[in-house]
Chain A
Amino acid sequence: MSETLLEAEGLHSFYGSSHILHGIDFVVRRGETIGLMGRNGMGKTTLIRSMLGHVRPRHGRVAVRGKTMTGSAPYLIARKGIAYVPEGRGIFPNLSVRENLLMAAKPGIDGRRDWTYERVLETFPRLGERLTNGGGQLSGGEQQMLTIGRALMTNPDVLILDEATEGLAPLIAKEIWYIVRQIRATGIATIVIDKNHAAVTSISDRNVILVKGKVAFEGSSAELRAQPELLHKHLGAG
């Protein structure tokens, strides 16, 4: 079995006094694509933020590349090759497109520099046309491309996409999915959170459904498709 890059064990997290995660186990191995699903408020983003150090879990363990990093500073976890494209994108509106990309540049954990400024611009030609524009002047789709491109500039081994296509026109969303496939093909492990379950399962190796802070289902896309009642019950999908 390939190397475990990111792992959560028995994770319990709270926001204030509300108990969001109830003992979650979650694993990301090298190169695999995981669909993380569940209705709003079921704990998807909290799980991600707990693993990334933005939320300190009350109980449980987070390990990155086999090393326990529960509640470590987010920048230390990110330096282990974990890149995050948050919901709402998180571009820096007061920096130009070029600056948004350049400020993030760093080699991967093994020193490789597969993703350079030039390669990101090749992957996202639209960004190349808007290099001097402020991040805040971009359209929603362009902002999403910028956030993904910026995450790639850190040469990650795991890329986490939280609602990457939310609020985008269908054609732009399609373009994003195309890019996610390309990234997946380069061997970067991805966690994809998205409301378009058909699109997620068409690229994912494994799927995890969260219900009220617990793992309600874990299995391959084929297994999930064989149980349409699960999708209906837990995700409200037809």
Chain B
Amino acid sequence: MDLTTFLIQLLNALQYGLLLFLVASGLTLIFGIMGIINLAHGSFYMMGAYMAFALTSATGNLFVAILLGIALSALIGFLLEWGLFSRLYKRDHLDQVLLTYGLILVFEEIRSMIVGDDVHGVRIPEMLSASIQLSETLSYPVYRLFMSAVCIVLAVLMYWLIRHTRLGMMIRAGSSNREMVQSLGINIDLIYRLVFALGVTLAAFAGMLAAPVSSVYPGMGNQVLIICFVVVVIGGVGSVWGALVAALLIGLADTFGKVIIPDYAGLTVYLLMAAVLLWRPEGIFRRI
């Protein structure tokens, strides 16, 4: 592999890993802090991609579509937590799996009713459609660099929110002793609702961002869901920082696996998971 190819693969790995992080960070927060196994989390990614498609078709501008999509998915997340998920906190994991699996089917059906079952594409906006020439034959698309940059900004914002704001302290405190947080006059139910809405929005946003580079197709959320659970397990349940490291590791393993051992590429991610779990059964980082 020459240096240019290596660089391109590295950028691809980074971009894939960062996108995974956006989806997985919400999953790990909802799992780690609220104790809910949300199988429907991948559906939010699918929803976001379809929103990007439908709203771009309607408005003619991907950025406008993304802004509308963010507002819409935050609202959906807020209402879902209020109507369904808030009833699940005290239930066991079987009930959670049943409800959230059911939601996958419901969301796919709604998607089918509204947009149909066709595969769609979303065009890369004009201003980001260029490519950077790296060598005579190889180039790298600007839009992918843009995706990575946006993801890095969001990762930094998430870290700041969780680690350095009072809201972040309350969120972390809630994961260790919910009742005590309430005794300090803090409306932890509302905070959880916001965290849930944030998780949904991040997953949907990842779907919107990815729509122009991957096609938009039914069931696209399920693939993402499985790999995101791998991220959560490797990173440590509830750890946003762990999710970032794990997502980047998976991005590297998957991308370079496809280049170096193409015949067994499907295995690399799971071998990585097995290796990490042998080394650290609780994941790389401990909770929150």
Binding site for B on A (CB under 8 A): 52, 54, 73-75, 78-79, 83-84, 86, 90, 92-95, 99-100, 102-106, 150-151, 154
Contacts and interface: CB of A to CB of B under 8 A. Distances in A.
Contacts of A99: 169, 172-173
Given A94-B175, A94-B288, A73 B166 contact: no
Contact of A78 (B166, B182, B288): B182
B187 interface: yes
Nearest to B286: A94
Given A86-B180, A94-B176, A75 B185 contact: yes
A102 B163 CA distance: 13
A102 B166 CA distance: 7
A138 to B, nearest CB: 14
A75 B187 contact: yes
Given A99-B169, A103-B173, A94 B180 contact: no
Contacts of B176: 92-95
B186 interface: yes
Contacts of A151: 184
Contacts of B186: 75, 78, 103-104
B119 to A, nearest CB: 44
B184 A150 contact: yes
Nearest to B287: A94
B185 A92 contact: no
B180 A78 contact: no
A75 B188 contact: yes
A95 B173 contact: yes
Nearest to B288: A94
Given A103-B169, A104-B184, A74 B288 contact: no
Contacts of A106: 185
B187 A73 contact: yes
**Interface SS of chain B:** helix
B183 A52 contact: yes
B76 interface: no
8 tightest A-B contacts by CB? A103-B169, A78-B185, A90-B180, A74-B182, A79-B185, A92-B173, A84-B183, A75-B182
A83 B184 CA distance: 7
Nearest to B169: A103
A135 B177 CA distance: 13
A149 B183 CA distance: 14
B10 interface: no
A201 B176 CA distance: 35
A183 B172 CA distance: 29
A92 B172 contact: yes
9 contacts: A73-B189, A78-B186, A83-B184, A84-B183, A86-B183, A92-B172, A94-B176, A99-B169, A102-B169
A103 B177 CA distance: 13
Interface in B245-284: none
Contacts of A75: 182-188
B170 interface: yes
